[in-house]
Amino acid sequence: MQPDIIHQPPFMPHLIIDGLNRYNDEPCLHLGDTIASYTQVRESTSQYIQALQSKGLGIGSRIAIISGNRPEVLFNLSAMQIAGCCGTALHPLGSTDDHAYVLNDAEIEVLVFDPSLFTDRARELKEKVPSLKHLLSFGPAEIGEDYSALASQFEPQPLVGPDVTGDDIGSIIYTGGTTGKPKGVLQTYRSAAYMTMMQIAEWEWPDEIRMLIATPLSHAGAAFFVPTLQKGGCFYVAQGFTPDLIFDMIEEHKITATMLVPIMLYVLLDSPRATTADISSLQSIYYGASPMNPVRLREGIEKWGHIFFQFFGQSEAPMTLVSMKKADHDLSKPERLSACGRPSPWTRLALLDDNNQPVAKGESGEICVRGPIVMKAYHNLPEQTAKTMAAGWLHTGDVGRFDEDGFLYIVDRTKDMIVTGGFNVFPREVEDVISAHPAVGQVAVIGVPSEQWGEEVKAVIVLRPGHSPSEQLTTEITQTVKEAKGSVQAPKSIDYVDSLPLTAVGKPDKKVLRASYWSDQERAI
Query: DSSP for 291-313?
Result: PPPHHHHHHHHHHH-S-EEEEEE
pLDDT of residue 409: 93
pLDDT of residue 75: 97
Strand, helix or coil for residue 198: helix
pLDDT tens sequence across 58-91: 999 999 999 999 999 999 999 999 999 999 999 8
Is residue 497 within 8 Å of 462, Cβ to Cβ?
yes
Query: Which CATH code fits 38-188?
Result: 3.40.50.980
pLDDT band at 178 (very low <50, low <70, confident <90, very high): very low
pLDDT of residue 2: 65
Instruction: Provide CATH 3.40.50.980 ranges for the chain.
Output: 38-188
pLDDT at 20 over 60: yes
| Alpha carbons 401 and 387: distance in angstroms, whole number | 22
Q: What is the mean pLDDT of residues 12-23?
A: 96
| Alpha carbons 153 and 201: distance in angstroms, whole number | 39
Question: What does DSSP assign to residue 324?
Answer: E
pLDDT of residue 219: 74
pLDDT at 290 over 60: yes
pLDDT of residue 24: 96
CA dihedral 164, 167, 169, 175 (to 10 degrees): 150
pLDDT of residue 305: 97
| pTM summary value | 0.84
pLDDT of residue 180: 61
* Closest by CA position to 246, among listed 238, 234, 254: 238
Is residue 209 within 8 Å of 236, Cβ to Cβ?
no
pLDDT at 524 over 60: no
Instruction: Provide CATH 3.30.300.30 ranges for the chain.
Output: 417-518
* Closest by CA position to 502, among listed 326, 241, 184: 241
pLDDT tens sequence across 335-352: 999 999 999 999 999 999
End-to-end CA distance of the chain: 47
Please name the residues in contact with 8: beta carbons below 8 A apart, sequence gap of 6 or more. 165, 166
pLDDT at 46 over 80: yes
Annotate 409-426 with b (16+ C-beta within 10 A) or e (fewer): bbbbbeebbbebeeeebb
Q: What is the mean pLDDT of residues 101-117?
A: 96
pLDDT of residue 176: 60
| Alpha carbons 525 and 510: distance in angstroms, whole number | 11
* Closest by CA position to 164, among listed 192, 189, 185: 189
pLDDT tens sequence across 435-470: 889 999 999 999 888 876 778 999 999 999 999 999
Please name the residues in contact with 198: beta carbons below 8 A apart, sequence gap of 6 or more. 320, 344, 346, 373
pLDDT at 193 over 60: yes
| Alpha carbons 225 and 71: distance in angstroms, whole number | 13
pLDDT band at 98 (very low <50, low <70, confident <90, very high): confident
Is residue 27 within 8 Å of 37, Cβ to Cβ?
yes
pLDDT of residue 520: 57
- Which CATH superfamily is 417-518 part of? ANL, C-terminal domain (3.30.300.30)
| Alpha carbons 156 and 101: distance in angstroms, whole number | 36
Is residue 446 within 8 Å of 510, Cβ to Cβ?
yes
